[in-house]
Structure 1
């Protein structure tokens, strides 16, 4: 991780890696945690394979949905790692300018108490990193990680 270009978070999720992996790769589960509550998430396409689409929509009222993420998976190593970017959209086209161009790496490792969960979000330059931090990376990604943990650990979700 390059502290001038990247943002990250780490968390122990007290659930097996398979549960965390399922929460990332099952569209119905992803929709429950991927966007900070109370905003609603709709998963349009989730193809967890290299080159596969990752498209989500969001809604404040659960009725009118707007684009949230149109991305492409770069690497998928079952139960271990997901890498996606919004620099390339789900149709493999260079993305229209994204609010925060990034590549995210999610890693899952065995831990005696569950899953060692790590996120690294890479940016192209320090200004993009700062912009993402200023938009609330720590709060937003922290909140969705807590929601992911609650789902994987068996707590009630939305």
Structure 2
């Protein structure tokens, strides 16, 4: 797929259930979803196909602005979460679209294999996202997710 980019990571010594919890508990998502020192706030997270996913971002935790406004397409417990910003809650068309993202979890002998894949409308949108720092930013949040999960009992 020419319009897709992926970032993967092995989450050492963390079972898939722990990574799943970090992905599905809004209070935990807020701890890793945006690159630090930015701060995330989960406004809506209705984890079901057609459910709302809305986050906000702030440079300092005081004034928040829009980040993601989208709709979950698939939620397969312990395996996969897929959302898009092409739709909002209830499968309603969004005013603008940039990404569809898929996050997969697989067991690994040393922990959990975590892969984030973003698909774009076309190669131009993909290239724009890469220029905005996709690999660096998604690498950071994937590392933050791993650090959060690996540090929890």
Normalised to the residue count of structure 2, the TM-score between the two structures is 0.95
Gaps of 5+ in 2: none
Q: Where is the helix percentage greater, Structure 1 or Structure 2? A: 2
- Cα distance per residue 1:88-125 (max 9 Å; x no partner): 12353321224xx1111100000000001111111111
Q: Does 2:6 match 1:17? A: no
1:134-153 matches, within 5 Å, as 134-153=131-150
Q: 1:127 deviation in Å? A: 0.5
The CA distance in 2 between the partners of 1:83 and 1:95, in whole Å, is 16
Task: Report SS of the residue matched to 1:31.
Answer: helix
The CA distance in 1 between the partners of 2:121 and 2:30, in whole Å, is 28
The CA distance in 2 between the partners of 1:75 and 1:142, in whole Å, is 23
Deviating beyond 2 angstroms after TM superposition, the runs of 4 or more aligned structure 1 residues are: 90-93
The CA distance in 1 between the partners of 2:89 and 2:58, in whole Å, is 20
Aligned length: 151
Q: Where is the strand percentage greater, Structure 1 or Structure 2? A: 2
The CA distance in 1 between the partners of 2:88 and 2:133, in whole Å, is 23
Do the aligned partners of residues 115 and 142 (structure 1) sit closer, same or farther apart at CA in structure 2, a change above 3 Å counting?
same
Q: Which residue of 2 aligns with 1:118?
A: 115
The CA distance in 1 between the partners of 2:39 and 2:126, in whole Å, is 26
The CA distance in 2 between the partners of 1:149 and 1:142, in whole Å, is 11
The CA distance in 2 between the partners of 1:97 and 1:78, in whole Å, is 29
**Larger CA deviation: 83-92 vs 137-146:** 83-92
Gaps of 5+ in 1: none
